[in-house]
């Protein structure tokens, strides 16, 4: 029985290859494949072959780091190489700020964590916040903050109850835009076997 090699994955070429294969059979030598119900069957076979080839190609691509496009697959492949993928990272800027007091001035000024700064660039507003408290003394009515690290995004605080009698507990942060490099844990209160922890992190705006 003759065998037709499929060299192309386009639908039209697949259908043509199927026709040539069937014409090579003695039962279909003079058969009209264009004006018959068999043409519809060939369409179904060609579509099935086309979709199968496409899906197989996509699956194989996801098995390699160079060609994978889905993040979950890239992360899984990177872990096999010993690489721990990082979370998304908030854009950061380093700025200087000066506050002038025309009248009576305090001894020092404190920028609290979460203090916001808004800037307009190319017609769009961007909101930045401080990650930690910053303190500057007031000298001659002027408080100068140098090298302030501000991050684009906003602070998020979540609270959860932790049972200290259990081991290997996992706590999920249900926010795909969280910058985990800014994550901090704080014990708020303590009870018999339970206590609350606060998780603060920046989310990308």
Tens digits of residue pLDDT in 176-197: 788 888 888 776 665 544 455 5
Q: Are 125 and 174 within one domain?
A: no
Q: How far apart are CA 196 and CA 200, in angstroms?
A: 13
| pLDDT value at residue 205 | 60
Q: Are 73 and 122 within one domain?
A: no
Q: Are 101 and 146 within one domain?
A: yes
| pLDDT value at residue 175 | 80
Q: How far apart are CA 149 and CA 133, in angstroms?
A: 11
| pLDDT value at residue 136 | 92
Mean pLDDT of the chain: 80
Q: Are 43 and 104 within one domain?
A: no
Q: Are residues 179 and 131 in contact, defined by beta-carbon separation less than 8 angstroms?
A: no
- What token pair was written down for 185? 């844990």
| pLDDT value at residue 143 | 92
Tell how far CA 196 is from the center of its chain. 29
| pLDDT value at residue 188 | 63
Q: Are 131 and 142 within one domain?
A: yes
For residue 173, being part of any structural domain is answered with yes
Beta bridge partners of residue 150, listed in sequence order:
93, 130
CA distances from 196 to 37, 169, 199 (A): 71, 14, 10
Q: Are 110 and 69 within one domain?
A: no
Q: Are 51 and 64 within one domain?
A: yes
Q: Residue 103: which of 142, 71, 149 has the closest Cα?
A: 142
Tens digits of residue pLDDT in 115-129: 888 888 888 888 888
Number of separate domains in the chain: 3
Residue spans of the chain under pLDDT 50: 1-3, 192-194
Q: Are 101 and 145 within one domain?
A: yes
Q: Residue 188: which of 170, 161, 155 has the closest Cα?
A: 161
| pLDDT value at residue 100 | 92
Q: Are 46 and 72 within one domain?
A: yes
Other beta carbons within 10 angstroms of residue 112's beta carbon come to 10
Q: Are 131 and 173 within one domain?
A: no
| pLDDT value at residue 135 | 92
Q: Using the Cα atoms of residue 159, residue 181, residue 71 and residue 79 in order, give the sign of their dihedral.
A: negative
For residue 70, being part of any structural domain is answered with yes
CA distances from 157 to 87, 116, 138, 144 (A): 17, 16, 31, 29
User: Could you give phi then psi for residue 77, rounded to 5 degrees?
Assistant: -70, -35
| pLDDT value at residue 144 | 92
């Amino acid at each position: 029985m003759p065998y037709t090699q499929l060299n192309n994955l386009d639908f039209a070429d697949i259908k043509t290859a199927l026709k040539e294969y069937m014409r090579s059979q003695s039962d279909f030598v003079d058969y009209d494949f264009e004006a018959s119900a068999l043409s519809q069957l060939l369409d179904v076979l060609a579509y099935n072959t086309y979709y199968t080839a496409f899906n197989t190609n996509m699956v194989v691509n996801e098995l390699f780091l160079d060609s994978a496009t889905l993040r979950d697959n890239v992360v899984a492949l990177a872990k096999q190489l010993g690489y721990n993928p990082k979370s998304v990272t908030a854009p950061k800027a380093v700025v200087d700020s000066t506050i002038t007091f025309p009248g009576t001035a305090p001894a020092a000024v404190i920028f609290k964590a979460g203090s916001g700064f808004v800037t307009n660039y190319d017609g769009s507003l961007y909101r930045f916040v401080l990650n930690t408290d910053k303190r500057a003394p007031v000298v001659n009515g002027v408080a100068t903050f140098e090298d302030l690290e501000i991050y684009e995004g906003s602070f998020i605080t979540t609270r959860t109850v932790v049972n200290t009698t259990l081991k290997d507990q996992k706590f999920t942060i249900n926010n795909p835009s969280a910058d985990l490099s800014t994550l901090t844990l704080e014990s708020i209160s303590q009870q018999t076997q339970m206590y609350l922890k606060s998780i603060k992190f920046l989310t990308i705006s």
